């Protein structure tokens, strides 16, 4: 196959194509699936994890096929203080997300 270009970044020597595909000859040699919590820390580690898996399996790059998020629950934290017969409190509710991505693993020809 030969792609039309798009948007990519290089992570640890592996090209991650977020949109489009490489404007050069390549072959799809496999698939990578990634499922993780959707918080900032797990998501910050996603690209390097996908790149490492592609490199370990002989790939030169990956093309993102899908990226989905799913609400799996809510977390609530409540704090109440009693001061001289008065109650003061705060409450924070945050969503718990799950992110699932699929990638085509490619080898340049």
One digit per residue, pLDDT tens: the chain, 109 residues?
A: 999 999 999 999 999 999 999 999 999 999 999 999 999 999 999 999 999 999 999 999 999 999 999 999 999 999 988 888 888 899 999 999 999 999 999 999 9
Q: Which residues contact 44 (CB under 8 A, 6 or more apart)?
A: none
The answer to whether residue 49 sits within a structural domain is: yes
Domain that holds residue 50: 5-68+99-108
Query: How many Cβ atoms sit within 10 Å of the Cβ of residue 96?
Result: 13
Q: Report the pLDDT value the prediction gives residue 85, as an integer from 0 to 100.
A: 81
- Give dist(CA 52, CA 46) in Å, integer: 10
The angle subtended at Cα 70 by Cα 65 and Cα 73, nearest 5°, is 160
Q: Distance between the two ends of the chain, CA-based, in angstroms?
A: 9
Q: Report the pLDDT value the prediction gives residue 83, as an integer from 0 to 100.
A: 85
* The total number of structural domains that make up the chain: 1
The angle subtended at Cα 42 by Cα 37 and Cα 46, nearest 5°, is 105
pTM over 0.85: no
The answer to whether residue 89 sits within a structural domain is: no
Residue 55, token pair as written in the block: 């490199």
The answer to whether residue 13 sits within a structural domain is: yes
């Amino acid at each position: 196959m030969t792609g039309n270009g798009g948007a990519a970044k290089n992570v640890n020597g592996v090209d991650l194509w977020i949109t489009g595909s490489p404007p050069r000859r390549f072959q799809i040699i496999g698939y990578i699936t990634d499922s993780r919590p959707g918080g900032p820390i797990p998501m910050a580690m996603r690209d390097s994890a996908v790149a490492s898996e592609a490199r370990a399996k002989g790939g030169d790059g990956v093309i993102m096929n899908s990226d989905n998020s799913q609400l799996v629950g809510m977390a609530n934290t409540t704090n109440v203080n009693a001061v001289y017969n008065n109650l003061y409190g705060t409450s924070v509710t945050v969503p718990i997300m799950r992110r699932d991505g699929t990638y085509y693993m490619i080898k340049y020809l």
